[in-house]
Chains A and B, each alone.
Chain A
Amino acid sequence: MVDLLNLNTYVPALFVVLAPVIGGLLMGIDRKLTARMQSRIGPPILQPFYDAIKLWGKQPFLASGLQPILAFGYFGFSVAAYALLAFGQDILLMIFTIAVADVCLIVASFNSKSPYSNIGAKRELLVMMSYEPVMILAALNISIMTGTFMIQGIFDITVPLLPYLPLTFLAMIPVLVVNMKKSPFDVSASGHAHQELVRGIYTEFSGYTLALIEFGHWTKVALMLSFVTLFWAPNLIVGVALALTLFFVTLVIDNVYPRLDWKSMVKTTWTAGFLLIIANIIGLIVRLVAL
């Protein structure tokens, strides 16, 4: 229950408000670090905010009347998913809320006749198909450890999850790569320069609808990294360090690997994700039985 008089209610609320801002800053750091890795100077850290403000002021070109509503939906459901995480609610519900946000983006992309945006939307469906089962298995693994699907349960057991779920933590790397739309798995749309689908799923968005999609994307990245933070739940400072390490690993992977096709994406995320997490579940059950 939400207690309005308790100060602790406002801390998660503050995080929900700040989530898109934190995500935007991370995107700026991402662009700067990527530039440094390619021995370039790179744009300022605040570049994503300049981009978003500029997009907000552009003349609106809408592909259909439904598009802005769905763009708002993508952003809104991403924030809702973050709120579920921040208030310690159900992990499964959080994952399904992210799925609803993704569906908003996909439907908005299917809402035009552009072949680029249509193929981008189809590929985004494959992106969803590749990471959602891994996330659900990870949630299952956490629930075996804590005895509940509630995020509050992770805080209640008072021991960090990472020593018990190291393989599940590793399985979060491909999930993060796919979610941040980073190479080698940036099949539906790429953050950088050109690809064969122009801008893929983002092709038909412009002006403020694209800005909303960007806000939604930042929130989703912040959400995924906050989820990783939970692996060291009682002491969140260590958790944040873990999340930033994974963020950096994702950037290194982005700069090292060339783009791969969607088959490799599904194969890699499913093989790596399923094998690692199922091995972890078996190990955990053996450990619990032995105790």
Chain B
Amino acid sequence: MRTMTKARIKSPWVLHFDCGSCNGCDIEILAAQTPRFDIERFGIVNIGDPKQADVLLVTGPANKRNQRVLRNLYDQMPAPKTVIAIGECACSGAIFHNCPNTLGGVDKVIPVDVYVPGCAARPEQIIDGIMLALQKLEKISECQEEGG
């Protein structure tokens, strides 16, 4: 594995955006950073700055009010980047799928790489989701390095 790819999968900085979630999944994301789960052992840091982030964690259903903000955050992240939808609402809209104010899943607004279902998604699942996203990032990175 090339040095750059190795560094990329060993240092994913995540940005967390709450798209109108009930805070259940948000608490679980925070729980993943506590000593019990400690995502920093994989080099994962919860960074608040989209310009420095590699992975976007989105919770809650996309709605008409904040889709512009979501799109903006996604556009501000420099490539290579991945997006993870966390929780049922972010995956498909769940119980809010036919509400007049929501659009449904996050994938209606931005391309999503990994879906982590669950209401709420458990910290182990979230860590698993990030690892899956890293496998995808590894492929993207290898293609990029081979292509020059």
* Residues of chain A having any CB pair with chain B under 8 Å: 31, 35, 38-44, 47, 49-51, 53-61, 193-194, 198-199, 202-207, 210
Contacts and interface: CB of A to CB of B under 8 A. Distances in A.
Contact of A59 (B3, B13, B40, B79): B79
Contact of B54 (A31, A54, A199): A54
11 contacts: A39-B35, A41-B38, A42-B38, A50-B43, A51-B7, A56-B4, A57-B8, A58-B54, A193-B46, A194-B46, A205-B51
Nearest to A58: B78
B24 interface: no
B47 A199 contact: yes
B48 A50 contact: no
Given A35-B40, A43-B40, A59-B78, A53 B4 contact: yes
Contact of A203 (B38, B42, B51, B78): B51
A207 B33 CA distance: 24
B48 A199 contact: yes
Contacts of A194: 46, 48
Interface residues of B, number: 27
B3 A53 contact: yes
A166 B42 CA distance: 41
B49 interface: yes
A105 B129 CA distance: 36
Nearest to B34: A40
B4 A203 contact: no
Given A35-B38, A61-B78, A206-B52, A43 B46 contact: no
Given A40-B40, A198-B49, A204-B51, A50 B79 contact: no
Q: Would you list the 5 A-B pairs with minimal beta carbon distance, nearest first?
A: A53-B7, A206-B51, A59-B78, A198-B48, A40-B38
Contacts of A198: 48-49
Contacts of A51: 7, 11, 13, 43
B139 interface: no
Interface in B99-124: none
A44 B51 contact: no
A38 B40 CA distance: 12
A41 B7 contact: no
B45 interface: yes
